[in-house]
Structure 1
Amino acid sequence: MASAAASASAAGARERSGGLTGPRLLLAGFVLALTNFMVVLDTTIANVSVPHISGGLGVSVTQGTWVVTSYAVAEAICVPLTGWLVKRFGTVRTFMFALAGFTMFSALCGLATSLGMIVAFRIGQGLCGGPLMPLTQTLLLRIFPKEQHAQAMGVWAMTTVTAPIIGPIAGGWISDNWSWPWIFFINLPIGIACLFGVFTLLRGAETKTETSRIDRVGLILMVTWIAALQVMLDLGRERDWFGSTFIVGCAIVAVVGFAAFIIWELTEEQPVVDLRVFRHRGFAVAVAALALAFGTFFASVVVIPQWLQGSLNYTATESGRVTAFTGILAVILSPIVAKFSTKVDSRALVCFGMAWLGVVSVTRALWWSSGADFWTLAIPQLMQGLGMPFFFIPLTTIALAAVRPEETASAAGVMSFLRTLAAAIGTSIAATKWEEHGRIERNEIVNTLNQPDQVVTTLQTAGLSAEQGRGMIERLVDQESIALATNHIFLVAAVIFFLSATLIWFAPRPKGAPPPGAAH
């Protein structure tokens, strides 16, 4: 009986994996890991290239951040649909369609000639990229035998952690040495190769399909309020905020749509986003802390390269090197923190990680100035990497251990949805406040500037013309005002990180760990 059960179990495992063994199994795992690497890379590769994209399209740098936020919003919208798509079309078919779409929209992004075009294509890229990250996890767990799940998830985690390190460096080097469209064109050979690999190796691992209905009303409400909110945040600074009837209309649609979305999803039997998991205090607290901290963290990832290139005259390559230091300690410490999280109270680990990010933000505000050298800028980035694993890894444990086993998939989807949405909203708010505070600081500096004509006269005696002297003063005022605005952003970020570190203690101590591959 025991041998028969073992044989049946082995046969079931072979059926799930599509009969993959040996080198074919390893190659399939590599293809899935490479796909995940490509998708995660695209979340950061464009950050350091925003000034190049803005210049190429003839728009402001703050408008250029739409390239980042549009992708994040579209990805956030599509992630909750992954489960329904898999049930309706099958895991492998959904994966192949999403991968093909991601590759196609990557090419279109590189061919874009206007801001509207690239934002539209980035939305398409985000909609297709949203399901890819969780589906790479799902397929890895499906094709590898159970005793190799830990190793498979370890490889997946390494691609997730290393891609954000390589992204800024690759994006900067490509933008400086080729041109910004190539940050999208490089996805073409990778996407085509991965698509061929999936078609060749994974067709036998397809899952059964079933005709299941989708929560259309919930989906429409979700898209409506998120789109209205994002448009309000992105266009508000250009249209005098609530002095514009259009922005007021967007705000009303966002508020009413959000309220209707909450009510509908809480009463729907099969909601597109299962908000009922928020009844668990541990999950609600952990996700609130995650949204606050991750939105703040991602906003800094976008603002720093813009400041370095726009104010300190760094090249995209140099700013990429500065920002990439964040990932070094994160890669080294991730497996160590994963082991610690099973022995130490996860709340203490998360509190340390978030508080450490707050300390780093204060350090930036104190150290960074318009005259900062490379290492003054890079060391806080390196320090930040120490706190990231303590923040991300145990927080997942707290959130998913708080829900029932049958709710784990829904809870993981909600976490991913809110994390990605927080990144887009945080980026928009930070870009707006950074620009506004820069104008305020500039006005204050100009008002306190004593005898500018005398300074111009002094510069003329040094060999400059009056026009050159005024230009030099103006550049210095602009540079210092942006530096002060950047410091202000980091001080606000520090406050949010410290609040998040305090908030996590309202969650109960987790009693167990979530199943492998539950989070995405």
Structure 2
Amino acid sequence: MIVGIGLAALAEAVASTALSTGRLDMIGDTHATPDEFAWLDVAFVSAKFTGFAMTPWLVNRLSGAVTLRATTGLLALFCGLAALTPHVDLLTAIRVLQGFAGGVLLVCGQTVLFQSFHPYRQPVVQSFFAMGAVVAPAAFVPLTSGWIIDSWSWNWIFLTALAAGVVALALIVAAGQLKEADAASGGLDWPCLTLLIVSAVALTYVLNQGSRWNWLEESRIVVLASVGTAALAMVVLSLFGSHKDKLIDLSVFRHQDFAFAFLVSFVAGFALNGSAYIIPSFAVSVLGMTATEAGWLLLPSGFLFIAALFLVALLLRFTGLPPIATVPFGVLIFMAAMWMLSQSNGQSGAPDMSLAILLRGVGLGLLFLSLTLIALAGLPQATLVFGVALFNVGRLAGGQIGVASLQTLIDHQTAQNLSVLAATITNGRPAVIDRIAQIGNLLRGVETASTQKVAINLLGRQIATQAIVISYETAFLAIAMLFVAAAPVLIAYKIVLGQFAKHSTPA
């Protein structure tokens, strides 16, 4: 069963990262405009958020076993349909179904694992789950998807997810009866669900496309941000109400460990998804690597990620070490890795970046398993599925904000750096004259009359490249500094939670 749920999470990871690798090929094959293609990402992510929120209701209505098997089979089916769909409109609809099924699958699968195994086995069990849900999209899927794109076509990415989903479904069904809490009937809060969908679609679009449209300078971004924020506020107010059949039970936040781990997971999601986006992007756009080569760059990090997960699992199981003990080490190691990557330049290669990327894997491994256990291991069975859903919402929201923030930072820094560097290139400066002369000496065989013009053009390209390099260096450093800025907030938050816990007890 553990392997089956892990493979199901892997299938979801392949489906969720398909567009990031196969973007250009898919645009060409589907003849999609940039606006049309943007909705493929928005549809998937917003549906995934919706799936997270609806999982508790589905589990209570249908049982965890039925929900898990159904969503695993449906995800595999939708991946197969996506591989055969050449029309962008139909593909958008399929991405909605993929995202919803994947979101439900992740929450339901993790909930079933917590319910099916004794607490002392949870560190190892959750390590296996993290391999598919966290490690795969951050380290392994970029390589396999890149290789598939370079060797075949984007359709095979979805066919790979189909194969993983079919095998996962067979293993889950073969596991037989799953141990879980009793299912309970209850109504669905349709007004709250409708507001949640509106909020998820609007805010996902804003985060996905905000950088492209320069954020608040575009009216559509302003409108969608306002609508999404208002809808989200109404959802939260509804969840604090006293009516029955709430979509999400916020009482899990009365448990101080969950409340603390939720906030940390938001920051960790920012760091995980942000670094998973920026490292391949730097490798491809600056270092000129192919998608496959960029994937190979991340692969060793994945193995150390897994090794760190199981190291933490063994420490927690056999030494009685509290999960919180490994979190500071994970943060410090990850910060060191990002600082080292901020020293990269346009001449860096895989050997220059390897140590930093390996440390990144170790840091994330020390961080994520501990956060999962801190947040979820102490929750009562009645609210466990709500806790798992909210924990995944926090991690995914942090990741979306992380990628959007880094995209904006790189865009703005590139323009600013180019302006500053270009201002130093003026006629008559000795350094500029020498540089053009050096480039001209390398252009032997070019007609003399055009040599200087070609040299000036090449110098301009070098300046543009250097502006991009500096922007990525800033982005790597920003991820490292994120934890410096967040640490005082998290510590203060933990102290406040501790004080609050002295005066109240979990419901």
TM-score range, shorter chain: 0.7 to 0.9
What is residue 339 of structure 2 aligned with on the other side? 362
Q: Distance in 2 between matches of 1:148 and 1:293?
A: 24
Superposition pairs for residues 236-315 of structure 1, below 5 Å? Answer: 236-267=210-241, 268-315=243-290
What is residue 145 of structure 2 aligned with on the other side? 171
Matched, 1:34 2:4: no
Task: Name which of 328, 344, 366 aligns with 2:303.
Answer: 328
Matched, 1:351 2:328: yes
TM-aligned CA deviation for residue 49 of structure 1: 4.3
Matched, 1:222 2:208: no
Residue identity opposite 1:369 in structure 2 = N
What is residue 133 of structure 1 aligned with on the other side? 106
Matched, 1:184 2:161: no
TM-aligned CA deviation for residue 194 of structure 1: 4.0
Deviates more, 1:176-185 or 1:202-211: 202-211
TM-aligned CA deviation for residue 302 of structure 1: 1.4
Residue identity opposite 1:360 in structure 2 = A
TM-aligned CA deviation for residue 132 of structure 1: 1.6
Name the CA shift for 1:350/1:251 in 2 (closer, same or farther; >3 Å): same
Matched, 1:101 2:78: no
Q: Distance in 1 between matches of 2:409 and 2:91?
A: 24
Name the CA shift for 1:58/1:363 in 2 (closer, same or farther; >3 Å): farther
Would you say the 8 A contact 1:293–1:496 is kept in 2?
A: no
> Secondary structure at 1:371's aligned position in 2?
coil
TM-aligned CA deviation for residue 458 of structure 1: 5.8
What is residue 77 of structure 1 aligned with on the other side? 50
Would you say the 8 A contact 2:203–2:225 is kept in 1?
A: yes
Would you say the 8 A contact 2:414–2:467 is kept in 1?
A: yes
Would you say the 8 A contact 1:232–1:250 is kept in 2?
A: yes
Name the CA shift for 1:74/1:427 in 2 (closer, same or farther; >3 Å): farther
Superposition pairs for residues 39-58 of structure 1, below 5 Å? Answer: 39-44=12-17, 47-50=20-23, 53=26
> Secondary structure at 1:131's aligned position in 2?
helix
Q: Distance in 2 between matches of 1:130 and 1:340?
A: 30
Residue identity opposite 1:131 in structure 2 = V
For residues 164-203 of structure 1, the C-alpha deviation after alignment (integer angstroms, 9 at most, x for no partner) is 4321221121111112232112223333344455567648
> Secondary structure at 1:238's aligned position in 2?
coil
What is residue 64 of structure 2 aligned with on the other side? 91
* TM-score, normalised with respect to structure 1: 0.80
Matched, 1:480 2:454: no
TM-aligned CA deviation for residue 373 of structure 1: 1.3
TM-aligned CA deviation for residue 392 of structure 1: 1.2
For residues 366-406 of structure 1, the C-alpha deviation after alignment (integer angstroms, 9 at most, x for no partner) is 2x111101111222110111111221122233333675664
Q: Distance in 2 between matches of 1:344 and 1:263?
A: 39
What is residue 503 of structure 2 aligned with on the other side? none
What is residue 313 of structure 2 aligned with on the other side? 338
Name the CA shift for 1:289/1:194 in 2 (closer, same or farther; >3 Å): closer
% same residue? 23
Matched, 1:400 2:373: no
Name the CA shift for 1:66/1:469 in 2 (closer, same or farther; >3 Å): farther
Residue identity opposite 1:322 in structure 2 = L
Name the CA shift for 1:172/1:253 in 2 (closer, same or farther; >3 Å): same
In structure 1, list runs of 5 or more residues that go unmatched.
1-27, 512-520
Task: Name which of 67, 83, 87 aligns with 1:110.
Answer: 83
Q: Distance in 2 between matches of 1:308 and 1:154?
A: 29
What is residue 505 of structure 2 aligned with on the other side? none
> Secondary structure at 1:325's aligned position in 2?
helix
TM-aligned CA deviation for residue 360 of structure 1: 1.4
Residue identity opposite 2:297 in structure 1 = V
For residues 38-65 of structure 1, the C-alpha deviation after alignment (integer angstroms, 9 at most, x for no partner) is 2234445654444555666678999978
Residue identity opposite 2:326 in structure 1 = L
Q: Distance in 2 between matches of 1:340 and 1:510?
A: 26
TM-aligned CA deviation for residue 124 of structure 1: 2.4
Deviates more, 1:153-162 or 1:393-402: 153-162
Matched, 1:449 2:422: no
Would you say the 8 A contact 2:110–2:388 is kept in 1?
A: no
Q: Distance in 1 between matches of 2:440 and 2:256?
A: 67
What is residue 18 of structure 1 aligned with on the other side? none
> Secondary structure at 2:210's aligned position in 1?
helix
Name the CA shift for 1:509/1:166 in 2 (closer, same or farther; >3 Å): farther
> Secondary structure at 2:288's aligned position in 1?
coil
Q: Distance in 2 between matches of 1:225 and 1:398?
A: 29
What is residue 208 of structure 2 aligned with on the other side? 234
TM-aligned CA deviation for residue 318 of structure 1: 0.6
Name the CA shift for 1:352/1:82 in 2 (closer, same or farther; >3 Å): same
Residue identity opposite 2:212 in structure 1 = E
Would you say the 8 A contact 1:230–1:425 is kept in 2?
A: no
Would you say the 8 A contact 1:49–1:175 is kept in 2?
A: yes
Q: Distance in 1 between matches of 2:470 and 2:33?
A: 20
TM-aligned CA deviation for residue 227 of structure 1: 1.7
Task: Name which of 465, 472, 477 aligns with 1:491.
Answer: 477
Name the CA shift for 1:399/1:49 in 2 (closer, same or farther; >3 Å): same
Matched, 1:376 2:376: no
Q: Distance in 1 between matches of 2:106 and 2:155?
A: 23
Q: Distance in 1 between matches of 2:489 and 2:24?
A: 36
In structure 2, list runs of 5 or more residues that go unmatched.
499-507
Q: Distance in 2 between matches of 1:108 and 1:139?
A: 28
Would you say the 8 A contact 1:74–1:126 is kept in 2?
A: yes
For residues 52-87 of structure 1, the C-alpha deviation after alignment (integer angstroms, 9 at most, x for no partner) is 556666789999787666534432221221121123
What is residue 11 of structure 1 aligned with on the other side? none
Q: Distance in 1 between matches of 2:124 and 2:342?
A: 40
Residue identity opposite 1:300 in structure 2 = S
Q: Distance in 1 between matches of 2:31 and 2:466?
A: 25
Paired residues in the alignment total: 483
Would you say the 8 A contact 1:90–1:209 is kept in 2?
A: yes
What is residue 502 of structure 2 aligned with on the other side? none
What is residue 387 of structure 2 aligned with on the other side? 411
Would you say the 8 A contact 1:47–1:68 is kept in 2?
A: no
Name the CA shift for 1:115/1:482 in 2 (closer, same or farther; >3 Å): farther
Residue identity opposite 2:301 in structure 1 = T
* TM-score, normalised with respect to structure 2: 0.82
